[in-house]
Amino acid sequence: MGALRTRMEGDMIVRGMAARTQEAYLGAVARLAQFYRRSPAEITAREVQAYLLHLIQERKLSWSTCNIAANGFRFLYHVTLGQERTQFGIPAAKQSQRLPEILSQQEVQRLLGATGNRKHRALLMTTYAAGLRVSEVVALQLTDLDAARGSLRIQQGKGAKDRYSLLSPRLLDELRAYWREYRPVRWLFPARGAPKPLDVSSAQKLYYAAKQRAGITKQGGIHALRHAFATHLLEAGTDLHTIQRLLGHGHISSTMRYLHLARPTLMAQGSPLDLLELTEGAARA
Residues marked active site are found at 133, 158, 223, 226, 249, 258
Q: CA 139, 145, 146 angle in degrees (round to 5)? A: 155
Terminal Cα distance for the chain, rounded = 80
Cα(124)–Cα(38) distance, integer angstroms: 47
- Look up residue 76 and give its DSSP letter: I
57, containing H or E segment: helix 45-57
Percent helix, strand, coil in the chain, to 5, is 60, 5, 35
- Residues with Cβ within 8 Å of residue 230, at least 6 apart in sequence: 131, 243, 246, 247, 255, 258
Q: What is the dihedral of CA 13, 15, 16, 22, to 10 degrees?
A: -50
Nearest C-alpha neighbor of 227 from the set 243, 212, 214: 243
The three-class DSSP label of residue 178 is: helix
**Angle, to 10 degrees, between the axis of helix 45-57 and the axis of helix 63-74?**
170
